[in-house]
Amino acid sequence: MSLKFDLIKTDGNARRGRVHTAHGVFETPAFMAVGTAATVKALTMEQVAATGTQVILGNTYHLMMRPGGDLVERMGGLHKFSGWTGPILTDSGGFQVMSLSNLVKMRPDGVEFTSHIDGGIKHFMRPEDSVHIQHQLDSNITMVLDECLHLPTTRARAEKNVDMVTDWARRSRDAFVNRDGYGIFGIVQGADFPDLRERSARALTEIGFDGYAIGGLAVGEPQEVMFNMIATTTPHLPTDKPRYLMGVGTPLDILGAVERGIDMFDCVMPTRAGRTAQAFTRHGTMNMRNAKFRDDPSPLDDKCGCPACKLSRAYLHHLIKCNEVLGATLLTQHNLWFYQDLMRDIRDSIEQGRFQEFKTEFIKNYTGEK
């Protein structure tokens, strides 16, 4: 395995690191912009890069459905196809097992998807198939195929899930083609049962991966439960490998997860919010449809350097009210810029040994609580 991770500094359980890939380096803790279908919605790849984003995420299921792994491979891989030159991680399709559950049939050897596009054609995906498609996509970080469970669930269902995804992880690892600057991550499951999380983490560590993800969280459970499962899991993961919390999340979720030893994050929240008139700022979120911004000359966030913050709230409100595409583009780029500024500040605070101080100060400003 040849994906290199440097652990540069720790501050309590918070970690400052660096991941080396065939398409460049990214600094951790890192937030990955979600580019499900080879596009970060509403932005060009140049606009994504301008936010400070260093790594993006694609989705194996959606890219399998269209345009197809074979076509992307003929186009030279996802980097050349999309125009993104930096590192790419691809989700395996495991989340769609949950999100498209009405179109899914589970089998011991894989998943049968009924097309969400036309409702007719069926596609069967084994762990080996998911890894092969991700190889066609030329993904720097391949994720093993797993099954993401709804919470709450029964212990018997969670045990069955852990056993199955452990077997699938081993099969995925065996199918992965080792090459310089590429790696494969295992995914810890176990629902909200601490002993099952530990069992899953130990089993994956025994198999051996370039990194380890924590899946099956941020699916509706209380934040306290999510934090407890992270704190339960991370002590059983290798310290010299990156740790990825899948599908998270809000700025406060990210701070709490970094505090518990997580290195990598992804979430559709900043881009989806940008397309629905929501702006993240250091003083909380703003709904730019709100009439109070109609004649507000101030910027969204006076500490942000993005293009949207060179304009007035009044102008952004105008764009949103007129349903102008530019409004969605500006707010999406702003939100990613905000997230990347947050990650940079987190990294700096860990290097300086003041993460807890930064976390307290950020939360105070963001929530308005004294």
User: Cα separation of 166 and 203, whole Å?
Assistant: 7
What percentage of the chain has pLDDT greater than the value 70? 99
59-69 pLDDT tens trace: 999 999 999 99
- Between the alpha carbon of residue 217 and those of residues 98, 144, 198, 214, 280, the distances in Å are 12, 16, 15, 7, 23
What percentage of the chain has pLDDT greater than the value 90? 90
112-144 pLDDT tens trace: 998 887 877 788 999 999 999 999 999 999 999
- pLDDT band at residue 339 under the 50/70/90 scheme: very high
Q: Could you tell me where in the chain the CATH 3.20.20.105 domains are found? A: 4-267
Residues belonging to the active site: 91, 266
H or E segment to which residue 9 belongs: strand 4-11
- The token pair that represents 59 in the structure block: 């989705």
User: Cα separation of 32 and 22, whole Å?
Assistant: 17
Structural class in CATH, domain 4-267: alpha beta
Tell how far CA 341 is from the center of its chain.
Answer: 16
Give the global pTM. Answer: 0.96
Indicate if the pLDDT at residue 370 is higher than 80.
Answer: no
DSSP string, 172-189: HHHH----TT-EEEEEE-
